Structure 1
Amino acid sequence: MLKIAGATLHDPANGVDGRQADLWIDGGKIVAPPDNPAVKPARVLDAKGLIAMPGGVDMHCHIAGPKVNAARELRCDDRRAEDQRIARREGFRSGTLGSVPSTFATGYKYAGLGYTTAFDAAVPPMAARHAHLELADTPCIDSGFYVLLGNNHYVMDCLKQRDPARLRSYLAWLLGATKGYAPKLVNPGGVEVWKQSGQDALQGLEDKVPQFDVSPREIIRGVAQAAAELGLPHPVHLHCNQLGMPGNWRTTLDSMHALEGCRAHLTHIQFHSYGGGDEDEGTLASRVQPLVEHVNRHENLTVDVGQVLFGATTNMTGDGPLGHYLYRTTGDRWYCHDTEVEAGCGVLPMEYRDKNLFNALQWAIGLEWHLMIDDPWRLALSTDSPNGGSFLAYPELIRLLMDRDHRNEVLSRCPPKLQDRCGLAGLDREYTLNEIAIITRASPARILGLPNKGRLDAGADADITLYTPSDNAAEMFALPRYVLKAGELIIDNYEPCAAPDGKTLCVAPDYDPTPLSDMEKWFASEYSVQMSHYGVRDDETPRAEVTPTG
């Protein structure tokens, strides 16, 4: 048993905003203080003056799967320097950093920021087994992934045949077979059109995918309804069409309407909030206002931002046509990975510059979303790592949200024309510590449907981060003093001391949608066989037990 004594708790899931209290930990969980005063903890952490929050939850990042490995090969140049390497030390493994760290480095660095849970945002079903093995090689964090479905041939065939029961059954089976956590739609229909024709993807939600004769609107509505009927812990995870294109805010708003009231999470919303017209970057402007007003009024919607931060990074996306568009725009090297009948992806280097008007506008639009949303419980902090910037830049993003003067100083370095295209300069809001605890911990845990994450009361996972207060929020959140993962100390007095395996977070293997159709009963029996083939474990089995099977 371990006791954390005298910490100042920020636990918004339980309405706690800066109250001093003790935390007791036993068996990997937070427990109530013992009734018997004779019970003594094995260790007491003196946390007086320290800020305690639940472990961070990154609900949208890219840390495993085909696109990540393609990026590691393509971007070997950004991890050659000596300061981008992690030397091997006792109890730890060597690794490399850069914009796409190696597996071990990813786990160490998340833990070093106080994060204990992360979800990869886009894995093709055929690559699920390998993604699980990669995540098993990523220590210190519990993890899972969303399964790509927006251009899946079987999904589109179900929609073409007007067979929602078969679609629902397929979704239930696929999540079980892949040990995935939620359905992911990326440019629904658009990637398939681009793969078939080699031309630009669909322009609107009503355009039809050749051969299947279904539209993006039908894909969005159909998969969202299937996910809702199955009662999944996390709803459809939607990457809207026309990402990054001038004028795409209309497509984003249409996508929100297409859900017809179903729950949905709209991801990296910054990249979908652009005014302008006809792919003319010269007319690009912020259109956050109408979109955030719609989200504020509709409780079925949640978002993460995909904040752009200035510096070099790597773009990787399941949106193949977007990768090709960026390649044509930048002229830099580009890698396209195609997964038959399921998905595609594009990978290329990216650098965001504060003197570039387009990049500065992307930076500002992301901050507008953070500062204009009414309810922080409907938003999760993200950079769509590494697309908008590495997760290692989260401390800087937190400072931008908490420190108006710092934000305005960075704004002053951007092109003067920026202020004619967005309203960031007029936003004075500053996030509190409790609001930061919401958007980095409590809100993503709630949006994901993880009842044991993002809170500090009895029964919760003992994933706890203790920070030393500082007037500079970036410094504070970059270096926690203590981090516990499932009750085990992994950062002790600022130094890494252990690298335990995490857990896989997936739809439970005994998940039983009711009422079951005959087809769903068949799928339920079949996917237990598929899970055995994949050689992955349920959400309570240690990582070390993962072994490849034949």
Structure 2
Amino acid sequence: MSYVAIENGTLHDPANDIDGEVTTLWLRDGKVVAPPTEPNPEISRRIDARGYVVMPGGVDLHCHIAGPKVNAGRKMTPEYRRDHRIPRTEHTRSATGGLVPSTFGAGYMFAGLGYTTAMDAAIPGLHARHAHEELADTPLIDKGFYLLFGNNHFVLDHVREGRRAELDAYLGWSLHAAKAYGMKIVNPGGVENWKQISRKSLQQLDEPVPHFGVTPRQVVRELAAAADRLKLPHALHIHCNNLGMPGNYRTALHTMESLEGHRGHFAHVQFHSYGGDENDPTSFASNAAALIDYVNAHENITVDVGHVNPGRTLGMTGDAPFAQHLAEMTGNRWFAADCEQESSCGVIPMEFQPQKAMVHAVQWAIGLEWYLRIEDPWRVCMSSDHPNGGAIYRYPEIIHLLMDADFRREAIGQMHDQVGGRTTVADLDRQYTLQEIAIITRAAPARTLGLAHKGHLGVGADADITIYSPQDDIRTMFERPRYVLQAGRVICKEGQIMADVTGRTVYAEPDFDAEFLPHIESWFNEHYTIRFRNYAIAAESLASGSAIACG
């Protein structure tokens, strides 16, 4: 095979301690390779990168691009996509873009911004097969997903009973069967409580789930430990209880403590960093500092931010109770779906107006606080929880805010006038460097995921590369890369898609003991038999006219 040479680019490769070195990259067979030693090597393509910034391809470790919630969002919001049609070209199929793009549109959007890897954050096991079909239909990028376990009946039963061997076998088998990359929990126990007709989510980490008698703290602790026992490359991916509620920083802090030294990744942590009184919305304020201090002191924890951007968006979450809370608070239409014995999801259109709404301004500022106050950028990853806090195409705005303190101060002045008194963002003068941007958008997400071949440009790395043209306007620079390469192929040039290629789906192979699989099969047979028997009784009752209808 011939070589591709990216010549004389200014490299930012934090994983290999390269900060602005001018050098030439050599690519072959989809990988970064050592410079050729043979005389007159065959070079199929040369890219003159003199004066350009060269980084690894972007890695988004928490977004929503597949699964039932995304499909519900597509159906609910045709108006979001009506003005974002992508025409068919030599290299693209017709697609829709916008906040909730089609499968093709998602691949084009991520790649066009210089992102070559994206991980969907919440897929129920029973929907995994269809999620794989969607991901296979998403071009240009590598991708994967996390499997939901925080409200799974088998998990709740076996955590309560302390049957760790069977639990590990079930988790390992589920990840293997679904070809998932990691384990995800969303409002552990709280979603199941809500589904049991109570329509109330758990408020306390030590409040038992009705019927199951197990607490969210137990679920977090045991699944975090299981992720370590199974030797998963990525830690337990945690969406805490009480998302979005005033005073919820206490829940997040107690959840961090419940890890008891095990690894844990805390998702969209901005939405869990609120001070105030849950019974008094006017008390809403930032208490990110308490969480940031804890994360700074505990190396077993990583986070992604979940920053928000001004404008319209779409909430889609495995936390159906929170979607219902938003719907009741805003009057917006919403959608909920139940995945029996596993999870639930909620979808709701939203709009962030930080210039007018105090709460939105505080949320916007808290995201910046996390980026600017964290001591080690290797433990914070850029995310907007796409599309919850805003679509991925808004990332360049956040990068501009992080790299330019004057621009940030100007933006703060345009926000609701109470933002300064309820957050510390106005006091923060830190400015990110290009090297730090490369960390939080590439190197840190790849390391947090355990993707050894992503997020760096050393020999053996996947040849996923983004080349930017330096500009005074930072936002414009990151909105439109000069070149994007995936596996050594040029897939985008100046915002135009240049190839029709299929990326890979990545998954983990857990280290589990299959000895207990017969016990798992017995459990399923018992529980499904009981459910089928109940359905038969219900059918008989309906036939006799003695049944009652439930709403």
Does structure 2 conserve the Cα–Cα contact (< 8 Å) formed by 1:302 and 1:378? yes
Change beyond 3 A, Cα 1:522–1:470: farther
Residue aligning to 2:4? 2
1:75-129 per-position Cα deviation (integer Å, ceiling 9, x unaligned): 1111122xx1101112311111221011101101111100000000000000000
Residue aligning to 1:58? 60
Does structure 2 conserve the Cα–Cα contact (< 8 Å) formed by 1:136 and 1:501? yes
Correspondences of 1:463-482 after superposition (within 5 Å) = 463-482=464-483
Does structure 2 conserve the Cα–Cα contact (< 8 Å) formed by 1:190 and 1:202? yes
Change beyond 3 A, Cα 1:468–1:522: farther
1:20-72 per-position Cα deviation (integer Å, ceiling 9, x unaligned): 00001110001101112321311111110010000000000000000000000
Residue aligning to 1:110? 110
Q: Which has the larger radius of gyration?
A: 2
Q: Between the two proteins, what is the percent identity of the paired residues?
A: 53
Larger CA deviation: 321-330 vs 279-288: 279-288
Partner residue of 2:17 out of 15, 18, 23: 15
TM-score, normalised via structure 1 length:
0.93
CA-CA distance at 1:279 after TM superposition: 3.6
SS in structure 2 opposite 1:175? helix
Residue aligning to 2:40? 38
- Structure 2: segments with no counterpart, 5+ residues: 522-551
Residue aligning to 1:374? 375
Measured in 1, the distance between the counterparts of 2:409 and 2:241 equals 32
Correspondences of 1:8-157 after superposition (within 5 Å) = 8-81=10-83, 84-157=84-157
Measured in 2, the distance between the counterparts of 1:441 and 1:170 equals 32
Measured in 1, the distance between the counterparts of 2:200 and 2:357 equals 26
Measured in 1, the distance between the counterparts of 2:494 and 2:271 equals 38
Runs of 4+ in 1 over 3 A off after TM superposition: 520-524
Does structure 1 conserve the Cα–Cα contact (< 8 Å) formed by 2:166 and 2:520? no
Does structure 2 conserve the Cα–Cα contact (< 8 Å) formed by 1:247 and 1:279? no
The number of residue pairs the alignment matches comes to 518
Residue aligning to 1:518? 515
1:383-418 per-position Cα deviation (integer Å, ceiling 9, x unaligned): 000000000101111111111111111110112211
CA-CA distance at 1:494 after TM superposition: 4.3
Residue aligning to 1:347? 347
1:491-544 per-position Cα deviation (integer Å, ceiling 9, x unaligned): 135432103101111013xx544xx362269989xxxxxxxxxxxxxxxxxxxx
SS in structure 1 opposite 2:398? helix
SS in structure 1 opposite 2:130? helix
Residue aligning to 1:490? 491
**Corresponding position: 1:253 with 2:253:** yes
Correspondences of 1:158-197 after superposition (within 5 Å) = 158-197=158-197
TM-score, normalised via structure 2 length:
0.92
Measured in 2, the distance between the counterparts of 1:65 and 1:338 equals 13
**Corresponding position: 1:360 with 2:357:** no
Measured in 2, the distance between the counterparts of 1:178 and 1:522 equals 19
Letter in 2 for 1:456: L
Letter in 1 for 2:119: F
Measured in 1, the distance between the counterparts of 2:276 and 2:515 equals 50
Change beyond 3 A, Cα 1:492–1:278: closer
**Corresponding position: 1:397 with 2:398:** yes
SS in structure 1 opposite 2:156? helix
Measured in 1, the distance between the counterparts of 2:493 and 2:291 equals 43
Letter in 2 for 1:258: S
SS in structure 2 opposite 1:64? coil
CA-CA distance at 1:199 after TM superposition: 2.4
Letter in 1 for 2:99: S
**Corresponding position: 1:309 with 2:306:** no
Does structure 2 conserve the Cα–Cα contact (< 8 Å) formed by 1:29 and 1:458? yes
SS in structure 2 opposite 1:282? strand
SS in structure 1 opposite 2:282? helix
Does structure 1 conserve the Cα–Cα contact (< 8 Å) formed by 2:97 and 2:109? no
Residue aligning to 2:327? 327
Measured in 2, the distance between the counterparts of 1:518 and 1:66 equals 33
Residue aligning to 2:432? 431
SS in structure 2 opposite 1:416? coil
**Corresponding position: 1:441 with 2:442:** yes
Letter in 2 for 1:128: A
Does structure 1 conserve the Cα–Cα contact (< 8 Å) formed by 2:186 and 2:319? yes
**Corresponding position: 1:457 with 2:458:** yes
- Structure 1: segments with no counterpart, 5+ residues: 525-550
Measured in 2, the distance between the counterparts of 1:76 and 1:280 equals 36
Measured in 2, the distance between the counterparts of 1:408 and 1:20 equals 33
Residue aligning to 1:383? 384
